[in-house]
Chains A and B, each alone.
Chain A
Amino acid sequence: MNKRGYILLKSKLFHPDIRIALTLAMRLLRQELKRGELTIILAALILAVSSVFSLSLFSERLQGALQEKSGEFLAADTVLSASRPIDRKWIEKSETLGLKHSQQVRFSSMIFANNQMQLASLRAIDTAYPLKGEMAVSQVAWGVGEPTEASVEPGKIWLDSKLVSQLDLKVGDIIEVGSTQLEFEKIIASVPDTDLNVFNAGALALINLDDLEKTNVIQPGSRVGYQLNLTGESDALTEFEDWVMPLMNRDIHRLRSINTDSSRLLRAVKRAEKYFLLASLLGIVLASTAIAVAAARFCERHFDLVAILKTLGANQLQIRWVFVFQLGMISLAGIGTGLAIGYFAQIVIIQALQSYLPEMIPDAGIRPWWLAISTGLMSVLLFSVYPLLKLFSIPPLRVLHRQMQGLKNKDWLNWLFSASAIFGLMWLYSGSLKLSFALLVSAGLIILILLVIARSAIWGSRKAGANAGSAAKLALAGLYRRARENSVQLISFTVAIELLLIVLVLRNDLLAEWQSQLPEGTPNYFAVNVNQSEINKFTQAYQDIGIEIDDAYPVTRGRMVAVNGEYVRDDVSKEKAEEGDRDGPRSFGRELNLTAYPDLPQDNTLVEGNWWQADETAYQVSVEEGVANRMQLKIGDELTFNIAGSEFTAKISSIRTVVWESMKPNFFMIFNPVVLNDFPSTYITSFYVPQAVKPELHSVMNQFPSATLIDIDEIINQIRDITNQVSLAVEFILVLVVVAGSLVLIAQVQASLDERRQELVILRTLGAKSNLLRNSVSLEFMILGALAGLFAAFANEIALYILQTQVFNMPAKFHWQFWFIGPVTGALVIGALGLASCWKLIKINTQALIRALG
């Protein structure tokens, strides 16, 4: 384009009024920037944009990684299991949807080798297994596992260490499974979808699915589990699930997916995701609140300018564009910087997390970009509409009457725009209309209640002020005079502190919960089926290699048949079990693992009743709380059990809670020792084996051929990985929320100082000592801060109760310490901020002040 054409285009694009507005906007901005007036609004904008950007970049990756991990527990995204062969049509459907699939058949069978036999849990798998996660094999039995890409070929069999050592096998040996012979190829160290129920775990053997028929093991009536594992695009998975659900028979089929699976670990991950979402949402709301406060202040500081411009004959178009350009340029600068910082932060986080995130998920796409940009634009636009309207309507007469304002009685407009901005942000970020709406409504309610309390508290302070010292009197009088502004400030202080507290408490609770689950030295091995006669020898053998076994529990299988003499119907309990907890009541309707023990096991806590004396002779039973609740059992109820055909009755003497994640044997029912004396039982125990000692397990276990050792290191490590990832994310969010909260506080203090400035100058001119002013200002802010802290502690308690019980499914706690910490830190921080911001103001001499006021 030639120069003339360019000028023509320029003159067409830019109305002369708009051009002059642009020039003016640039000049004004330059100076504002120099004087640091734009620091807060820019900082808030940069914070909001960079955090949304880095969070969404990072959280998509984190979520991907977590999903990946969760998937590994199932070895797939979705698992359809059945007690009958799975319909060919279902598999075809999954293929047409573009899903990858893998089939599996699980059954128990004897395997023979070296003229010995052993019971094994067999899995016939195809070469696609595992769809998620990986298998690990070791060179020697009980050796350290190494990941493998290989799969079990037809004609081969892979066996776990236990089988290898029990049958004394070496690679290449021939193994008989049913009517076929297979070559022993590899030692299994771990598979991703380990059965978490240790009582179910037998020695594992893998064969190829094509060999299954040849074995002739599966006969009509034998207990067999068929599995169809699926993975693929989540839309396609959902479509498949929706399609297959109505075709399923509840008695035969069961569908689990990373989204529906209710295992405790996955619930912990889900909880973390919820926290992540909620906390970052709060952080972003806080940051945009800071933008709102700063934008309002930006406009207010320009009231005089508009009056002057109008007096000098500026038209509406010019005036509007002056400010639109200014805000536009601030947004541009803020968003640009925010994106740059966010991108950088994300790289740093990913670097730091490299060791936790096994494979980098490909770039998160453009969503984070537009999410961040629209967050910035939306915050600036929606939060400045009302202040701008107010600004544009400033009458020129203000040059003569400085108190003249524009729009009056249009505060509802402000609330409307702010509410829609916050709602929009939450919706944009969470993608959940329900969550956004719930948060908005509850925030509205809390604010309303706070408004009422705040007003009355401030009015109350007036009375108190009447007989206080001079600084206090001045402070309280100031509080009262600005009751309206102060109650708004009080609320924003409160909300900022409250959100901080919420995020902090949730973080502490979540981290504490996770850390308590798997402390160092958490048992990483279970031993089951240890013979009664061998248990002492077993304990001794382990002690010899330096491993202490604290608790060993006798286990006997039995059924609970009656409650208070009334026989329970199996199908009923089964029905209940389906909708309940995975590790919970599912045990009912089938045999239970029963134990007897003299003491209350570690990690168990009595909630009702008393523990027995070790030598108690009356039959007693202690019931796990969840079971007791579901089956409506209470202390004193008589439960009848059937073990191997003989029935007996025990009275419930206590109800206890159990830490399921403790990686120790846990039981629904524990009897006092006398009860199981006459029944044969095997022992179960768990213990921690350091990495270095693992090779010695081989020789120890050889002494106890009937016992099974289950390695759960892999599971523990996976859980730890997830916990670590999530903890880091949680800390990151906390930092974000703290920074955002501080910005709100600073912005609010600054804004309120603008209001106080005039008054300070007058008091100063009237000869008030700077000491008095300083004391009264900091006192006023301290009172506001303390009140805000108190309100925040109150609101925090309510919000946490709701969040913990409704969203996170954690027990709610009372956080008494925050009733103290809240007001004290509120008073100190806000008092200090107020003092710091007005320090300069009080220091300058009066002459300069008056001139600065104009």
Chain B
Amino acid sequence: MSSILSVKNLSKTVMSNGEALKILTDCQFEINAGESVAIVGRSGSGKSTLLSLLAGLDVCQQGEIYLAERALHKLNEEERALLRGEKVGFVFQSFMLVQSLTALENVMLPLELSHQSHARQEAEKLLEAVGLADRGHHYPNQLSGGEQQRVAVARAFASRPAILFADEPTGNLDAENGKKVEDLLFELNQAQGTTLVLVTHDINLANRCQRQLTMHAGKLTEQAGQDEQVEQAGLHFA
């Protein structure tokens, strides 16, 4: 299997109150195309920071990231945007839908931005896939949290990304809705062969992934065994 994401010696330092604060230290790993990977760890350990670097939302200053065979750390802002548009999908804890666009228009957005034809039909299909075919004309504030997140998932898959990043996609949802979104993610992952990288506190969600990466104070360790899952459970309820 080919590697879709490859990270070498990735570090991140921020200035906080005049002091240099290292929030990521020498992260190194590879993710293959089609894989599903969960990043877990304590609050504040640097998961979101890592995700934003991997997805090209933030500028990578130390280390190397190769995303879909492009050297992300060498790209400028415009090129990163282009790469995001072509290869990357996102789902966020807080949905991040455009409030003044309807559900359908939100899903159409990435298609239109990359000049794909039949954006509307594609978007309608996707909405149907997430079970919201009849809610397309509703605005986000007319939808429940779970519905909004499903729209966000539909939007994330709209441009058929090679890799999808999700930062606590179920974090704002109740169990039932969380499950729905979770199922959706994996279904689409299967159907489109999309690589899934998600940050989560949800042990069930993490367990459904093929691999788990654990962040601990900015350092990354790979885990595969059952005992880690116990430890995670502890973390989760701590």
User: Interface on A for B, CB 8 Å cutoff?
Assistant: 16-17, 20, 23-24, 27-28, 31-32, 35, 304-305, 307-316, 318, 395-397, 399-400, 851-852, 854
Residues of A within 8 A of B51 (CB): 400
A309 CB to closest chain B CB, in angstroms?
Answer: 7
With A28-B101, A400-B167, A854-B94 already in contact, the answer to whether A312 and B52 are too (CB < 8 A) is no
| Contact call A396/B96, Cβ cutoff below 8 A | no
CA of A308 to CA of B107 in the docked complex: distance in angstroms?
12
Surface stretch bound by A, among B25-33, B110-118, B121-129, B181-189? B110-118
Q: Residue among B48, B82, B90, B96 with the most chain A CB within 10 A?
A: B96
Q: For the complex, is B202 an interface residue (Cβ under 8 Å from A)?
A: no
In contact, A313 and B82 (Cβ under 8 angstroms): yes
- Identify the closest chain A residue to B113 (Cβ): A314
Contact at B96–A304, with CB atoms within 8 Å? yes
Number of B residues whose C-beta is below 8 Å from A?
A: 37
A313 adjacent to B48 (CB under 8 Å): no
Given contacts A20-B115, A396-B57, A397-B52, contact A313 B90 (CB under 8 A): no
Closest A residue to B79 by CB, please name it: A315
- Residue B85, interface by CB 8 Å: yes
Asked whether, in the complex, the Cβ of B96 is within 8 Å of the Cβ of A308, the reply is yes
List chain B residues, Cβ under 8 A from A32.
100
Q: Given A311-B57, A313-B82, check contact A399 B101 (CB 8 Å).
A: no
Tell me whether B81 and A310 are in contact (CB under 8 A).
yes
- Ranked nearest first, the 10 interchain pairs of A and B with the lowest CB-CB distance are A313-B85, A31-B100, A313-B84, A396-B57, A312-B110, A314-B113, A28-B100, A397-B57, A20-B112, A397-B58
Tell me whether B105 is interfacial, beta carbon within 8 Å.
Answer: yes
Say if the beta carbon of B99 comes within 8 Å of chain A.
yes
A31–B81 alpha-carbon span in the complex (Å): 26
The residues of A that contact B233 with a CB separation of less than 8 Å are none
The docked-state distance in angstroms from the alpha carbon of A28 to that of B106 is 11
Chain B residue nearest to A396 in the complex (CB): B57
Q: What distance in Å separates the Cβ of A23 from its nearest Cβ neighbour in chain B?
A: 7
Contact indicator B167/A318 (Cβ below 8 Å): no
The one of A307, A315, A395, A854 that contacts B99, using a Cβ cutoff of 8 Å: A854
- B98 within 8 A of partner (CB): yes
Given A315-B81, A400-B57, answer yes or no on A851-B115 (Cβ-Cβ < 8 Å): no
Contact, CB under 8 Å: B105 / A311: no
Q: A308-B96, A311-B57, A314-B113 given as contacts; is B101 within 8 A of A27 (CB)?
A: yes
Tell me which residues across on chain A come within 8 A of B100, comparing CB atoms: 27-28, 31-32, 35, 305
Interface set, chain B 16-58, CB cutoff 8 A to A: 48, 51-52, 57-58
- Known contacts A305-B98, A397-B52; is A312 also within 8 Å of B167 by CB? no
Can you report 27 A-B residue pairs in the complex whose CB atoms are below 8 A from each other?
Answer: A20-B115, A28-B101, A31-B101, A32-B100, A35-B100, A308-B96, A308-B97, A309-B109, A310-B81, A311-B57, A311-B90, A311-B96, A312-B110, A313-B85, A313-B88, A313-B113, A313-B159, A315-B81, A316-B78, A316-B81, A396-B84, A399-B57, A400-B48, A400-B52, A852-B141, A854-B94, A854-B96
Q: 1/0 per position for B64-107, CB-CB distance to A under 8 A?
A: 00000000000000100111111010101011111111000100
B145 an interface residue at 8 Å Cβ cutoff?
Answer: yes
Report the Cα distance A395→B94, complex, angstroms.
Answer: 17
Docked complex Cα distance between A852 and B141 (Å): 7
Write out the residue numbers on chain A whose beta carbons fall within 8 Å of the beta carbon of B101. 27-28, 31
* Given contact pairs A312-B113, A313-B84, A854 touches B95 in the complex (Cβ within 8 A): yes
Also in contact, A318 and B90, with CB within 8 A (given A31-B101, A400-B57, A851-B141)? no
Contact present for B84 and A318 (CB under 8 Å): no
Q: Which residue of A lies closest to B148 (CB)?
A: A851
Inter-subunit contact A308/B81 (CB<8 Å): no
Name which of A27, A307, A311, A854 has the most chain B CB atoms within 10 A of its CB: A311
B residues in contact with A851, CB < 8 Å: 141, 145
In the complex, what residue of chain B is closest to A34 when comparing beta carbons? B100
Does B139 lie within 8 Å of A313, measured CB to CB? no
Neighbouring B residues of A397 by C-beta, 8 Å:
52, 57-58
Tell me whether A31 and B113 are in contact (CB under 8 A).
Answer: no
Residues of A within 8 A of B82 (CB): 313, 315
Specify which of A20, A313, A399 lies most central, judged by the most chain B CB atoms within 10 Å of its CB. A313
Most buried by A among B83, B113, B115: B113
> What is the chain A residue whose CB lies nearest that of B92?
A399
> Given known contacts A27-B105, A399-B92, is B81 in contact with A16 (CB within 8 Å)?
no
Q: Is the CB of B113 within 8 A of A309?
A: yes
Quote the shortest CB–CB distance from A803 to chain B (angstroms): 46
Tell me the smallest distance from the CB of A306 to a CB of chain B, in Å: 10
Report the separation of the CA atoms of residues A315 and B82 in the bound assembly, to the nearest whole angstrom. 7
Residue of B nearest to A402 (CB): B94
Residues A311 and B98 in contact in the complex (CB < 8 Å), given A24-B112, A400-B92: no
Among residues 148 to 170 in chain B, which have CB atoms less than 8 Å away from a CB atom of chain A? 155, 159, 167
Beta-carbon nearest neighbor of A317 in chain B: B78
B-chain residues with CB within 8 Å of residue A17 when the two chains form the complex:
115
- Contact partners of A316 in chain B: CB under 8 A: 78, 81
Q: Which residues of A contact B167 (CB under 8 A)?
A: 400
Closest to B85 in A: A313
CB pair B90–A399 under 8 Å, yes or no, is yes
Q: Of all chain B residues, which has the CB nearest A19?
A: B115
Most buried by B among A17, A309, A397: A397
Task: Among B48, B78, B92, B110, point to the contact of A315 (Cβ < 8 A).
Answer: B78
Q: A31-B101, A31-B139, A308-B96 are in contact. List 12 more A-B contacts (CB 8 A).
A: A27-B101, A28-B101, A312-B90, A312-B155, A316-B81, A318-B113, A395-B57, A396-B81, A400-B52, A400-B57, A400-B92, A854-B94
Given known contacts A28-B101, A32-B100, A23 and B112 CB-to-CB distance under 8 angstroms: yes
| Inter-chain contacts of B140 with A (CB < 8 A) | 854
A304 to B98 alpha-carbon distance, docked (Å): 8
Contact A314 B58, CB 8 Å, known A20-B113, A31-B139: no
For residue A854, which residues in chain B have a CB less than 8 angstroms away from its CB? 94-97, 99, 140
Chain A residue with minimal CB distance to B83?
A313
Hey, which chain A residues are within 8 Å of B90, CB to CB? 311-312, 399
A41 to B: closest C-beta gap in Å: 15
Closest to B110 in A: A312
A510 and B18 CA atoms in complex are apart in Å by 60
Partner of A312, one of B48, B78, B84, B94: B84
* B55 closest partner in A (C-beta): A311
**Minimum Cβ distance to chain A for residue B53 (Å):** 10
Residues of A close to B98: CB separation below 8 A = 28, 305, 308
Output the nearest chain A residue to B155 by Cβ-Cβ distance: A312
- Residues of chain A within 8 A (CB-CB) of B83 are 313
Contact B81 A314 (CB under 8 A): yes
A176 to chain B, nearest CB (A): 92
Distance in angstroms from A422 CB to nearest chain B CB is 31
* B46 CB to nearest A CB, Å: 12
Residues of A within 8 A of B112 (CB): 20, 23-24
Write the nearest CB–CB distance from B105 to chain A, whole angstroms: 6
Most buried by B among A35, A304, A318, A399: A399
Q: Which of A16, A35, A312, A399 is within 8 Å of B109, CB to CB? A: A312
Minimum CB distance partner of B53 in chain A: A397
Quick one: which of A20, A35, A313, A399 contacts B81, CB cutoff 8 A?
A313
Taking the closest CB of chain B, its distance from the CB of A485, in whole angstroms, is 22
**A754 vs B78: C-alpha distance when bound (angstroms):** 30
Q: Which residue of B lies closest to A852 (CB)?
A: B141
Give, as a whole number of angstroms, the nearest-CB distance from B157 to chain A. 12
- Chain B residues near A399 (CB, 8 Å)? 57, 90, 92, 96
- The docked-state distance in angstroms from the alpha carbon of A311 to that of B106 is 13
Complex alpha-carbon distance, A314 and B115, angstroms: 11
A16 cross-chain contacts in B, Cβ below 8 A? 115
Q: Complex formed: what's the CA distance from A24 to B109 in Å?
A: 9
**Interchain CA distance A318-B84 in the complex, whole Å:** 15
Bound-complex Cα distance A851 to B142 (A): 10
Query: Smallest CB-CB separation from B51: which chain A residue?
Result: A400
- The residues of B that contact A852 with a CB separation of less than 8 Å are 141
A44 to chain B, nearest CB (A): 21
